[in-house]
Amino acid sequence: MPFRLNNAREMPPGGCKFYVAHTGQWVPSRGTLTSLLDLMRAVKRYYEAHNMPIPENLQEHVEEQICTSLPPGWCEDEHHAQNKWWSFPFTFQQVTTFTSTMVSWWRTNRLEPVETQEIKARADVCSRCEFNQDPDGCSSCNKPVLRQFTEDLLVGTRGPWDNALKSCKICGCLLSVKVRVPKGILLKHMPTEQLEKLPAHCWLKK
């Protein structure tokens, strides 16, 4: 059962917006709207303007996407929502541990790097994702710790596309590392529970 807003007439925290995975764009492109009704009108206009068929279950999809970023109490099946989105710890220590493990694995297996164009495309998606966040306990004074063990991985592919990347709240990995790891390796080592939590627009789900 898709998550649905308990009260579609009430503006949720942060307002309403929708990510169109097919085009990689947000509706609205800037800011948010104050109601689900206004958002649905804007999304339908967007689909029509881009000559895309409007799915029959579009509103369900829009509400479910909104619910993934809301705290408990705003959507149906609250217990399920809590288990799916808020039970995952997200701390600086976790990010360093997960990322260092991934980098060590990468160095040991000496894999071919992901093409720079693909890195840029992934980084573009991640930079606009609601789960691109700094973990608890992360500050300017401890970020150099992360750079120390990722520096050689970024050589030759570092660019402005890295500037907006933080950490993935779903898997706990430093995104500048994640976008450079082959998709097959990430899928192999990511638990099914985490994979299911990734939003529909994530490049790992394409």
Q: What is the pLDDT of residues 23-79, one digit of tens each?
A: 778 899 888 888 889 999 999 999 999 998 988 888 888 887 777 666 667 777 544
What single-letter amino acid sits at 72? P
Task: Measure the CA–CA gap between 49 and 63, rounded to whole angstroms.
Answer: 22
- pLDDT for 110-137, tens place per residue? 666 788 999 999 999 999 888 888 766 5
Burial status of residue 111 (CB atoms within 10 A of its CB: 0-12, 13-18, 19 or more): middle
More confident residue, 47 or 149: 47
Across the range 17-25, mean pLDDT stands at: 79
Does residue 57 come out as left (phi exceeding 0), alpha (psi in the -120 to 50 range) or beta?
Answer: alpha
Does residue 97 carry a pLDDT above 70? no
pLDDT over 90 for what percent of the chain? Answer: 13
Q: Which pair of structure tokens corresponds to residue 184?
A: 């097959």
20 phi and psi, to 5 degrees?
-90, 100
Q: What is the mean pLDDT of residues 6-24?
A: 78
Q: Please tell me the distance from the alpha carbon of residue 143 to that of residue 10, in angstroms, as a whole number.
A: 39
